[in-house]
Structure 1
Amino acid sequence: MSVVVEKAPGLRARAGAALTDAGFAAGWGAVKLLPEGLARRAFDAGAGWAARRDGSGTRMLRANLRVATGGKLSETELDELTVRGVRSYARYWREAFRLPTIPKDGIVGKTESPGVEHMEKSRSDGRPVILALPHSGNWDAAGVWFVDWLGGPFMTVAERLKPESLYRRFLEYRESLGMRVVPLTGGERPSSTVLREWLNDGRSVCLLMDRDLGSSGVPVSFFGRPTTMPGGAALLAAQTGAALHPVICQFREGGWRLMIHPEVPLDGGARLKDRVAVATQGVADAFVDSISAQPEDWHMLGRIWSDVQRDPPRRGVS
């Protein structure tokens, strides 16, 4: 009996992973073939269903948005914002499945980039740039714009998803957009080493920073509450002299917007640890400024504050 108990979860896990991979394969295979209008209506309908179902991700998103809006919204207003947030997240996935089929010029031409002069100054000084992003808008579309602006690829890091076939699918997808991807864990060499060498060669990097997946994050205040953020971007900037720029992706009607912030200085003290801490807080502050302006595009369905739990289930909703 004990042998059966041990094996059963593994079989279920493998079956679940296979179904997940098959679902993503179907998405990339089928959604990109749908007419744009039909795909939009289908994903909007799915987002409406997900919001009404009020699952754990939706309830965590609502709790996070309550913090991001300073607790100033009524529950009805917060519900409306959450629905917009779920629709925004659905738009990200609809575009992700279709992005490889959209001509690059069609993405670049529909992307606004207020603040791009900050990055242009860094580049004119002969420095590579590190873009620090939150999970907002469509960061893959932003990557297409960034590759075009750089005139070549940038490097980023990807979480090692399971099963391996799903990780490979995402790897191929992002590399088809012009990115170079290294795994966060499980690579032939540490990702930090690969990124540092890439920057020392004068090339640029993009890193998502608003959720700490490790155990050694940097303490910051984010929307007035304590949490941690990965300090890798600030550390790499300090080690290589690259310019650290927060960039927040947003959706707009028929296109995208990249809110590009000035370089975050690495002058927070004599010790490297202090400089990294101050710079990471600077990135968090920039995220707050732009997320606050369009919070529905912040796709944070995970827990990031230890004292903020997901909302309880609504009465009568499973």
Structure 2
Amino acid sequence: MPNTGEDTESEERVSATDRLGNAAFLAVMGLARLLPYRQRIGLVGWFFSRTLGPLAGWTARARANLSLAMPELDAPQRRQIARDVLDNAGRSMAEIYSGRAFTDRIAAADPLTGPGLDALADAAQAERPVILACAHFGNYDAMRAALSARGWPVGALYRPMNNDAFNAHYIPAIRAISEPVFPRGRAGFAAMLKFLRGGGMLALGFDQFVQDGTELQFFGLPSRTVLTPAELALRYDALLVPIYGIRQPDGLSFVVEVGRPVDHTTAQQMMQALNDDLEARIRARPGQWFWVHRRWKKRRRG
């Protein structure tokens, strides 16, 4: 087909939007960094919950997902949880961009606890591969900082953002918390497997919709779930543990809880166990999970 110029115009619009969004984000973070740590974290949380979330449609999407998964909640409860969700998201982003101020706080607190901590320590001592099953709950980077502070080798798989201008500062920010980090893609996956086989602890998310995932249950609803964490645990005889960086009532500190290791059975059974564990955590603290995800999307046909 002849080039009508529409693709170029679309790319230019997207690029301009990306640049504008990135500039706005940097302006907010630049202002926040002028403040002491406590006020900085609170300010960005407020900005996400009261301004960015409603404008971006995230608040409405969170409330819609809450209606679907937790219909027992009334409208005021859904509104408050959605506000808490965006406040937590903003605080988490501010923490990522606080660098040493964030990681030093985590190291000083040594917040690791939970029924799976001894098994995790044993795996580290034996240099046994570990899969850390993590979710967008609390701040998962608190987990990376806490494990790294103990001298344990913790790596993570990440998806670069679609906004290249944003990636230019976001990727260095997550690297500053702990390394290595591996981008999704063939090269990143190969490096990730080498790290895992060498006895590393690899953080893998499992709480987002995956187009080619397996249909499992989450909040009593069918939800396509990635099997990769369990499949890698079975393939490399890796310890598989759920882990959560749980934000505390002060909004600044964390408990990093290592859950009980998941028994090696089948990949489907293991991932269902992780879904069930995460659901229980969310029901106890619904404002700490990122309800903005389209977790219950229907699979596209064709």
- Three-state SS of the structure 1 residue aligned to 2:4 is helix
Q: Deviations over 1:224-281 (max 9, x none)?
A: 11111221111111111110101122210240122321111122xxxxxxx1111111
Please report how far the alpha carbon of residue 179 of structure 1 lies from its aligned counterpart in structure 2 after TM superposition: 2.0
1:56 aligned partner: 57
CA contact (8 A) 1:111 1:256 kept: no
**Which stretch has the larger CA shift, 132-141 or 52-61?**
52-61
Identity, % of aligned positions: 21
Relative contact order, higher structure (CA 8 A, sep 6+): 1
Please report how far the alpha carbon of residue 27 of structure 1 lies from its aligned counterpart in structure 2 after TM superposition: 4.9
Q: Distance in 2 between matches of 1:105 and 1:48?
A: 26
Aligned pair count reads: 293
- Three-state SS of the structure 2 residue aligned to 1:73 is coil
Inter-CA distance 164–54: structure 2 relative to 1 (3 Å threshold): closer
Inter-CA distance 138–44: structure 2 relative to 1 (3 Å threshold): closer
1:316 aligned partner: none
1:201 aligned partner: 198
1:182 aligned partner: 182
Q: Which runs of 5+ in 2 are unaligned?
A: none
One-letter amino acid of the structure 2 residue matched with residue 203 of structure 1:
G
Q: Distance in 2 between matches of 1:103 and 1:295?
A: 24
Q: Distance in 1 between matches of 2:222 and 2:169?
A: 35
CA contact (8 A) 2:48 2:86 kept: yes
Please report how far the alpha carbon of residue 108 of structure 1 lies from its aligned counterpart in structure 2 after TM superposition: 2.5
One-letter amino acid of the structure 1 residue matched with residue 121 of structure 2:
E
Inter-CA distance 19–209: structure 2 relative to 1 (3 Å threshold): same
1:10 aligned partner: 11
Please report how far the alpha carbon of residue 295 of structure 1 lies from its aligned counterpart in structure 2 after TM superposition: 1.0
Q: Distance in 2 between matches of 1:291 and 1:175?
A: 28
Q: Distance in 1 between matches of 2:41 and 2:200?
A: 36
Inter-CA distance 104–57: structure 2 relative to 1 (3 Å threshold): closer
Please report how far the alpha carbon of residue 6 of structure 1 lies from its aligned counterpart in structure 2 after TM superposition: 3.5
Structure 1 residues 121-136: aligned runs within 5 Å: 121-124=122-125, 126-136=127-137
2:262 aligned partner: 264
CA contact (8 A) 2:209 2:294 kept: no
CA contact (8 A) 2:134 2:206 kept: yes
2:106 aligned partner: 107
TM-score (normalised: structure 1)? 0.82
- Three-state SS of the structure 2 residue aligned to 1:207 is strand
Q: Distance in 1 between matches of 2:237 and 2:50?
A: 47
Please report how far the alpha carbon of residue 169 of structure 1 lies from its aligned counterpart in structure 2 after TM superposition: 2.4
- Three-state SS of the structure 2 residue aligned to 1:65 is helix
Please report how far the alpha carbon of residue 112 of structure 1 lies from its aligned counterpart in structure 2 after TM superposition: 3.0
1:90 aligned partner: 90
Q: Distance in 1 between matches of 2:218 and 2:86?
A: 22
Q: Distance in 1 between matches of 2:240 and 2:53?
A: 40
Please report how far the alpha carbon of residue 111 of structure 1 lies from its aligned counterpart in structure 2 after TM superposition: 5.3
One-letter amino acid of the structure 1 residue matched with residue 181 of structure 2:
V
Please report how far the alpha carbon of residue 38 of structure 1 lies from its aligned counterpart in structure 2 after TM superposition: 3.8
Q: Distance in 2 between matches of 1:297 and 1:20?
A: 25
Please report how far the alpha carbon of residue 306 of structure 1 lies from its aligned counterpart in structure 2 after TM superposition: 2.9
Q: Distance in 2 between matches of 1:77 and 1:166?
A: 34
Q: Distance in 2 between matches of 1:74 and 1:54?
A: 23
Q: Distance in 2 between matches of 1:169 and 1:88?
A: 21
1:156 aligned partner: 156
Please report how far the alpha carbon of residue 41 of structure 1 lies from its aligned counterpart in structure 2 after TM superposition: 4.9
Q: Deviations over 1:53-78 (max 9, x none)?
A: 4752111111223345x322211222
2:209 aligned partner: 212
1:279 aligned partner: 270
Q: Distance in 1 between matches of 2:182 and 2:227?
A: 17
TM-score (normalised: structure 2)? 0.86
Please report how far the alpha carbon of residue 165 of structure 1 lies from its aligned counterpart in structure 2 after TM superposition: 4.0
Q: Deviations over 1:73-103 (max 9, x none)?
A: 21122222222222222221222222x0316
- Three-state SS of the structure 1 residue aligned to 2:17 is helix
**Which stretch has the larger CA shift, 41-50 or 88-97?**
41-50
CA contact (8 A) 2:136 2:207 kept: yes
Please report how far the alpha carbon of residue 47 of structure 1 lies from its aligned counterpart in structure 2 after TM superposition: 3.8
